[in-house]
Amino acid sequence: MRFHKECLHCKKLLVGRTDKKFCDPQCKSGYQYQQAKEQPERFYNKVDNQLKLNRKILKAYNKGGKVTVRAQVLIKKGFNPNFFTHYWKNKKGDVYLFVYEYGFLKREEHNVCKYILIKWQDYMRKKIPLG
């Protein structure tokens, strides 16, 4: 008794084992890819993808170590400031949000929203006393 009479992906007639579902490995792979595309993206994947995109954008615009860029430019590229990995507070009290090694600080100058972009430095590491 055969469970599946045709390939689940290409619908060709199956020959061989009775529990066979696909005619070849390519059809199996194609079917699994199609199934994955139809399912909604998992929360973890959304966050991870946005973090990767944010890092890529910050890296592309921060060639000099410290740069100021209009927020609108970054946002048009897909940057979302709500996704970051950690933060650092300087002595002035400014809180830089970081996406891995690339940081940003939101500023408003002359009614234009901008981001100051920096790169993580060793001196930013907070020293915790051991005793």
Q: What is the pLDDT of residues 114-130, one digit of tens each?
A: 999 999 998 888 654 55
pLDDT tens by residue, 45-101: 899 999 999 999 999 999 988 999 999 999 999 999 999 999 999 999 999 999 999
Of 94, 109, 102, 97, nearest in space to 63 by CA: 102
pLDDT tens by residue, 74-90: 999 999 999 999 999 99
- Which residues does residue 97 pair with via DSSP β-bridges, in sequence order? 87, 104
Q: What pTM was computed for the model?
A: 0.68
Identify the DSSP state of 126.
P
pLDDT tens by residue, 6-23: 999 999 999 888 889 999
From CA 104, how far away is CA 87, in angstroms rounded? 9
From CA 22, how far away is CA 86, in angstroms rounded? 46
Of 62, 100, 97, nearest in space to 82 by CA: 97
Whole-number pLDDT of residue 65: 86
Inter-residue contact 23 to 10 (CB < 8 Å): yes
